[in-house]
Structure 1
Amino acid sequence: MIRGDESIDDFRFFTLDFEQPADHRHPEGEKFLQRMTLFHRSVTAPMVIDTEGAEIFAEPIAAEPVDLLKGNQVTVEHRFYGTSTPASRDWTLLDVWQSAADAHRVVRVFKTIYGARWLSTGVFRGGTAALLHRYFYPNDVEGTIPYAERHSLGLQDVRVPRFLANVGDAACRDSLKAVQRAALARRAELTPLLAAQSEWGFTFDTLGVDKAFEFSVVRLSFNFWEYLGLAPYDCDTIPGPTVSAEELFAFVDLVAGPAYTFSDQALNSPVGPESYQCATELGAPLYPEAELWPLLRYPGGQVPTFLPPTGVAKVYNPLPMLKLELWTRLHARNLLIVDGALSPWSASAFGVSSRNDSYRVVDPAGIGFYGTLSALPEPQRTFFFERLSDWADAPVHPPALSQGKLAPRYEKRMRHR
């Protein structure tokens, strides 16, 4: 079902609803409409499937491989996010295999139209979804380029605190710790500011304002590095611990977004599906608490199985991600994993083997977002462009660079992704 069609630059942009089985093991049963977008340039150009890890972006933002190859792109919203939710809302149908089967069915149908070579990509959990799709259906695409992929080993991955203790500049890390301690010590001043967001439609009946605030402060350091370069903050914008309550809360709100993570509205959607995925298969980081312990009222509470959706059985199964990790290290061919040295998710990055024509690129000063490949120094830039060209059987069109920086269109996409 076509919901929108517009011409933008050198492609047509469609918004689509694609009928999927709620359970691919029983395709005759319940159906749901999965939201997708399509960038169409030419049926003879390469196609890139962009697997989203959450709700789809309504605006047309092409992935970096699509721009480089002047190709087409079909972007697939993840099941149980946005409008792509079965009416039954049967949580057992939210697993990595069902999601991969969604992507496989999209490829199977669209290959009848787009006959050139296919690649896959995705950012954040979408990058992990691209890897899982390739793991379950290795012949769907010729190559996979995930950016800043996210997964954890266990419900509290202990590699994360070690990473956060050493990432970036020591003065920046100390400033973040000072903000966390000040926010918790001054919670009596700051929690009313969170409660006041009820004026914007946020309520906190599930966790309570105090717990939602504390959980956000504990996550502040992780979130800061996770989105550095995408969000409007950097080390120079971290406030001192003695600023006004309004300034201190504004920084916590900007970086950790308690209302957008732990309000009733967020916990139902979109955080509910994310929490369920983390509790059952994807795992979660261990957020550092040791230095904040004397100021905490709910230590150890951020385990995905403790979080909504409530009344839903959540049993963690480590096997899918362990199998995926072994596959990327030993068997996966034509992978180009893009990570960033500043992203805490790089602490749990997948390994690859160049013997299988698979590689991992680490941006030393970023989080591994779109534009990373284009900004690589030579000769790495040319080498990876050649790999991309070989996999797609199409030429790469490098973007213009200015003094080693991204072209403006990439900077815009980084800000909006």
Structure 2
Amino acid sequence: MLGVKYWFRGVVGALALSLLAACGDTSEAGREVEPSAEAPSGVSNIDGDIRARLEALPGVTILGDEQIDDFRFFTLDFEQPADHRNPAGEKFLQRMTLFHRSVAAPMVIDTEGAEIFAEPIAAEPVDLLKGNQVTVEHRFYGTSTPASRDWKLLDVWQSAADAHRVVEVFKTIYGARWLSTGVFRGGTAAILHRYYYPNDVEGTIPYAERHSLGLQDVRTPHFLANVGDATCRERLKAVQRAALERREALTPMVAAQAEWGFTFDTVGVDKAFEFSVVRLPFYFWQYMGLAPYDCDTIPEPTVSDEELFAFVDLVAGPAYIFSDQALHSVTEPESYQCATELGAPLFPEAELGSLLRYPGGQVPTLLPPEGVTKVYNPVPMLKVEVWMRWHARRVLIVDGALSPWSASAFGVSPWNDAYRIVDPAGIGFYGTLSALPEPQRTFFFQRLSEWADAPVHVPEVSQGKLSARYEKRLRRR
């Protein structure tokens, strides 16, 4: 699904250009050599001295090194200033991974919006270009946290400066063209990096970027009221009402999750349950199509208490969002970012009315970290909004058709060689270039090829289907 003005250039381009002559597989740009003493035992070493070259980079520590398929996979720590305005001050180690194919191949920097995805699954542009990838964990997530835990250092400029320094250092080895990408909050991080450092990369391909205006973005309820199938939406509402009406029977099932190590002292069991029920449609459509998220799995409101709770827990599990363990580790930095700069969606409550005990309570400023001043500053993201709409060049935003986040997507201009496309065959919030219908698919492959100055390799997976590799990655989001 693509608006006329967004794919008009694609139609013209596809007619004017022959189908990508470079789309077929080509020989590897690097050459294989005999394994060196540095290479993992029993494997071939592409660009034989790459480990030595990495070890010579300032601030780089190699934690892991293995050969996987046609690339060398490194796990790295990279020393960063906790405050880029004071580079001589506190330092922290930022976790990264590197997919190395050849120093002559394009490089894609994948900015994670949270803890790093440690498994070696390359981003789609990397697969299409047969390129390299450096993946960067977001500051304050995973192991990439300054010892001071000074929350003021978690802002959009500091994270963009992290990515900029990675590019500066690694470009001394990888001299071909660079692109950037990211999924979900990582897609937003890629846009922010490009905004603050527009010359670091030639092009940016964010997937399902998130962008909210305010602490409760009012565009979200309108989207959820119209997304997908009307019957499916009504069934979700019926489940929400039934769950709240049977609250006294279902909340003990939340409390019982203490046996799995979850506690709810921060928000309380009752509030955690209600908040999860309110969020249920948002999460359902976000992952719609990723098994078992399907309209046929929505239970009737008359099912047993156990079946009703099982569905709520599957889609919007209270323990995985509102337990103390989640709020004070997994989601704490996200809540701070939303409360101070990124904003958050408004989860619709109107139709649940009198069944709610805590209406309007899902505001990120009310969530941990506790005892920390959180003042929402809309200016940085408003500046990015204006820049994206009028000035951003060589950007390709990819969304899934059912994504609730698409209600607040950035606008772009195709006259700047910048596009936003919606994959009708995607998984909820996530689409792929490979699944696009023609002529858009060929046109955007051509744009990617030109930005990277490298051929695109047509994927073997069937058009319109999401690769199992990407499904595996999405399950970690």
Partner residue of 2:434 out of 366, 374, 377: 374
Partner residue of 1:24 out of 76, 84, 87: 84
Partner residue of 1:354 out of 389, 414, 417: 414
Change (3 A) 1:153 1:408: closer
Deviation at residue 409 of structure 1 after TM alignment? 4.1
Indicate if the aligned counterparts of 1:18 and 1:35 stay in contact, CA closer than 8 A: yes
Whichever residue aligns with residue 23 of structure 1, its letter is D
Residue 198 of structure 1 corresponds to which residue in structure 2? 258
Residue 233 of structure 1 corresponds to which residue in structure 2? 293
- Computed over aligned residues only, the root mean square deviation of the Cα atoms, in angstroms, reads 1.4
Deviation at residue 407 of structure 1 after TM alignment? 4.8
Residue 166 of structure 2 corresponds to which residue in structure 1? 106
Superposition map of 1:23-172 within 5 A: 23-172=83-232
Cα distance in 1 between the residues matched to 2:293 and 2:112: 25
Partner residue of 1:9 out of 69, 72, 97: 69
Indicate if the aligned counterparts of 1:163 and 1:347 stay in contact, CA closer than 8 A: yes
Change (3 A) 1:403 1:324: closer
Indicate if the aligned counterparts of 2:341 and 2:377 stay in contact, CA closer than 8 A: yes
Figure out how many residues of one structure are paired with residues of the other and give that number: 417
Indicate if the aligned counterparts of 1:48 and 1:74 stay in contact, CA closer than 8 A: yes
Change (3 A) 1:371 1:396: farther
Change (3 A) 1:360 1:101: same
TM-score normalised over the length of structure 1: 0.97
Partner residue of 1:325 out of 365, 381, 385: 385
Deviations 1:316-348 (A, max 9, x none): 000111111111110010000111221010000
- Aligned: 1:183 with 2:243: yes
Q: Percent identity?
A: 86
Larger Rg: 2
Deviation at residue 164 of structure 1 after TM alignment? 0.3
Indicate if the aligned counterparts of 2:435 and 2:463 stay in contact, CA closer than 8 A: no
Cα distance in 1 between the residues matched to 2:274 and 2:388: 37
Residue 254 of structure 1 corresponds to which residue in structure 2? 314
SS in 2 for 1:60: coil
Indicate if the aligned counterparts of 1:64 and 1:371 stay in contact, CA closer than 8 A: no
SS in 2 for 1:115: coil
Deviates more, 1:251-260 or 1:123-132: 251-260
Cα distance in 2 between the residues matched to 1:289 and 1:152: 18
SS in 1 for 2:181: strand
Deviation at residue 235 of structure 1 after TM alignment? 0.7
Whichever residue aligns with residue 284 of structure 1, its letter is A
Change (3 A) 1:370 1:186: closer
Indicate if the aligned counterparts of 2:178 and 2:203 stay in contact, CA closer than 8 A: yes
Whichever residue aligns with residue 14 of structure 1, its letter is F
Change (3 A) 1:416 1:207: closer
Deviation at residue 366 of structure 1 after TM alignment? 3.0
Superposition map of 1:235-384 within 5 A: 235-367=295-427, 372-384=432-444
Whichever residue aligns with residue 295 of structure 2, its letter is C
Deviation at residue 130 of structure 1 after TM alignment? 0.1
- Aligned: 1:209 with 2:298: no
Indicate if the aligned counterparts of 1:48 and 1:119 stay in contact, CA closer than 8 A: yes
Whichever residue aligns with residue 112 of structure 1, its letter is T
Whichever residue aligns with residue 106 of structure 1, its letter is V
SS in 2 for 1:216: helix
Superposed structure 1 runs of 4+ greater than 2 Å apart: 229-232, 364-371, 401-417
